[in-house]
Structure 1
């Protein structure tokens, strides 16, 4: 682990690039007296089945299995070689300079490690545990190992958390990050800061949708400032800045049977650069649905011409219009079958391509697959369907919206 003793400060900032209804906060559920109760998805693209307990969904799955309409969940086995895993430690930049490109390394599932040309280092939705569950012996087991350890990440300045589900937020991983990168700052949705405070972590900022914060890194001492030099002159140094934007997603939250939707789920944008010309930006979809598909539509057929008019989540077009374009989108493509049950909360590759277009990402990488078998599609189906979805939209099947090996680094 590299260390340069940077001092970080976070300031909430305002933006005029917000939709007209942002101030009314339609995703907040209030009591008659105006007291906050929880969050919701205020869209026609949302299936209300997901508003209450998960038990109806579990019972539906059991019924489908018993009736023979749903086969067994694919089981690639622990540490399967189905999805290649590389050790990325030799590709991480050892200092905060050395590349004019945005560099992104997939660490499995929704986790990406991003190295900005400005020197900023951001980790998205890190979970390094074997199981993603409150009870490890019962939860899904990894079928691909983490490609490296947290201690092997050279710098971690910020950690972005999309929501509280166990495959996106892990207590052991958070503690390990805090141990090896004690100055790392966590950016989370409303309501989640309390969880971090109880874990002994104070470097946390929570935001609502369409709110922004700026992280500034400055050298703690003159001696340490060499790693921050961004100009030709040896006598000049500049702070590193990153703008973190909490943006909408269509999903849910909860870690127990008693806290469903009491913390906010979100997508995120991160931008960093000394000038507008050198700035690079990432849109992180995290975990999201796009359109609710009714049970009456056969599985795999919901993008046929006769189903084109199903309502879609309107927020992604707003994100593209108000905050795009983005140099890189990290977009979910897995955990979508059975489609009528999962479509509200999990995008399939066809949805992901529409989100890519809506948000005006220049390039994208597929996330939320290849690590845990969470639903019933075949393990390698998401990349295959992604190529089909790109072809349908007239987008090249490689080089624009790709998948990669776990541990692989791409430049943008």
Structure 2
């Protein structure tokens, strides 16, 4: 058994993730091997579906500027109260029989798996989701806790490199607090982590998976104290084997950290299976591309039924589903004609939920930063309407949480 993509963190005593190639690749569609999402000569990536429409950045910038100059832009009111915030509670040990998810704001979830694995998805704990401090991109809801409050983090899963999903200060704080943590990211992002001094990094292409096993490292503690063999044996006997399968899956989005590196790195949704439970993390994604329509137009009406939707989600459901829990974006969707290729609105979100065969779901990608023009509390209301329209309005099927709230699923 060998570690993948840069080695194993051994900065302190405890558990570290050993990452291996599985004996068999997970199920996938036949066309996956064609790598249609790869540009030639390693120049980047594309969305290979008719459901995606790309924007020339100049045209997009002009369109947004014209909206402001013509008075069409809507500036959401963030005056409190908005999203309720609770101090989160985490399990006191790895011993649990249930799947447990805690929303930490925007696209960040902390998931506690039965059997002991602890995974953090798209963590950003900073005030501003931009390379410089911009007033318009500051949080209107604070994080419910700090990185340093997270008791255990075995793996961090990153969907793509936009600043509201990948934060250098947050990664550095996680690496300092949990030096043995292993990061997973889509293709092209490994060098960014290495440049940050993070060696525990595995990058994956769509449909690739890795097997993960947590093993004990008996070395120096954070304060330099020697950890005894007896302490290690005690932890091992109480813990048992913790294993997981982590895989990158398609989604419809783009990537960039600067104006000059658009789509040079890949974006992905993810699956994590451990302790008999399977979680789908949709990351940041669109579902279909909607034309410029008059305000108030329902683009899901029969007149627009011809608009193609992304086929990847049904493929995910067919080949990797069902999932016990889906973490699915519901916000940042207005103006629809601009945002729909990249961001799901609640009707899209419900379709993603159905296509991927998630048994239950929780919403994300809302309630933290003003990224788009819809009212800040609209996404959960629209989600309820979309579920009712789809006949899925049973309580708890696809829900939203307060920031800091946890929800448990299943059990013995």
Query: TM exceeds 0.5?
Result: yes
Sort the Cα spacing of 1:204 and 1:29 in 2 relative to 1 into closer, same or farther, 3 A.
same
Q: Equivalent residues in 2 for 1:118-137 (5 A)?
A: 118-137=115-134
Query: In 1, are the aligned partners of 2:209 and 2:245 still within 8 Å (CA)?
Result: yes
1:103-130 superposed Cα distances (whole Å, 9 cap, x missing partner): 0000000000000011000000000000
Distance 2:140 2:153 in 1: 26
Shift of 1:398: 2.5
Shift of 1:396: 1.8
1:385-407 superposed Cα distances (whole Å, 9 cap, x missing partner): 00000000001253100001000
* Structure-1 residue corresponding to 2:306: 309
The structure 2 residue matched to 1:24, chosen from 24, 34, 42, is 34
Query: In 2, are the aligned partners of 1:133 and 1:139 still within 8 Å (CA)?
Result: no
Distance 2:83 2:273 in 1: 30
* Structure-2 residue corresponding to 1:248: 250
Query: In 2, are the aligned partners of 1:161 and 1:187 still within 8 Å (CA)?
Result: yes
Shift of 1:136: 1.2
Sort the Cα spacing of 1:308 and 1:204 in 2 relative to 1 into closer, same or farther, 3 A.
same
Distance 2:141 2:21 in 1: 38
The structure 2 residue matched to 1:45, chosen from 28, 33, 51, is 51
Distance 2:233 2:97 in 1: 19
SS at match of 2:386: helix
Distance 2:134 2:54 in 1: 31
Query: In 2, are the aligned partners of 1:132 and 1:139 still within 8 Å (CA)?
Result: no
Query: In 2, are the aligned partners of 1:95 and 1:227 still within 8 Å (CA)?
Result: no
Q: Equivalent residues in 2 for 1:375-394 (5 A)?
A: 375-394=372-391
Q: Equivalent residues in 2 for 1:312-391 (5 A)?
A: 312-391=309-388
Distance 1:301 1:240 in 2: 47
Shift of 1:22: 1.0
Shift of 1:155: 0.1
SS at match of 1:217: strand
SS at match of 2:324: strand
The answer on 1:92 being equivalent to 2:102 is no
Query: In 2, are the aligned partners of 1:119 and 1:228 still within 8 Å (CA)?
Result: no
Q: CA RMSD in A?
A: 1.6
Q: Equivalent residues in 2 for 1:132-171 (5 A)?
A: 132-137=129-134, 140-171=137-168
Distance 1:196 1:139 in 2: 28
Sort the Cα spacing of 1:290 and 1:299 in 2 relative to 1 into closer, same or farther, 3 A.
farther
Shift of 1:12: 2.3
Query: Normalization by structure 2: what TM-score?
Result: 0.91
The structure 2 residue matched to 1:282, chosen from 279, 282, 287, is 279
* Structure-1 residue corresponding to 2:8: none
The worse-fitting range, judged by mean Cα deviation, of 56-65 and 3-12 is: 3-12
SS at match of 1:127: coil
Task: Count how many residue pairs are aligned between Structure 1 and Structure 2.
Answer: 386
Gaps of 5+ in 1: 231-236, 274-278
Sort the Cα spacing of 1:269 and 1:16 in 2 relative to 1 into closer, same or farther, 3 A.
closer
* Structure-2 residue corresponding to 1:260: 262
Gaps of 5+ in 2: 1-11, 219-228
The structure 1 residue matched to 2:290, chosen from 288, 293, 296, is 293
Sort the Cα spacing of 1:397 and 1:372 in 2 relative to 1 into closer, same or farther, 3 A.
farther
Q: Equivalent residues in 2 for 1:224-243 (5 A)?
A: 224-229=232-237, 238-243=240-245
Distance 1:72 1:193 in 2: 38
SS at match of 2:47: coil
* Structure-2 residue corresponding to 1:74: 76
Shift of 1:219: 2.5
SS at match of 2:18: strand
Distance 2:324 2:13 in 1: 28
SS at match of 2:169: helix
* Structure-1 residue corresponding to 2:184: 187
Sort the Cα spacing of 1:300 and 1:266 in 2 relative to 1 into closer, same or farther, 3 A.
farther
Shift of 1:15: 1.7
Distance 1:228 1:94 in 2: 17
Sort the Cα spacing of 1:93 and 1:390 in 2 relative to 1 into closer, same or farther, 3 A.
same
Higher relative contact order (CA 8 A, sep 6+): 2
* Structure-1 residue corresponding to 2:9: none
**Runs (4+) off by over 3 Å:** 225-230, 296-300
* Structure-2 residue corresponding to 1:270: 272
Query: Normalization by structure 1: what TM-score?
Result: 0.91
SS at match of 1:28: coil
Query: In 1, are the aligned partners of 2:26 and 2:207 still within 8 Å (CA)?
Result: no
Sort the Cα spacing of 1:37 and 1:155 in 2 relative to 1 into closer, same or farther, 3 A.
same
The worse-fitting range, judged by mean Cα deviation, of 138-147 and 111-120 is: 138-147
Shift of 1:58: 2.1
* Structure-2 residue corresponding to 1:11: 20
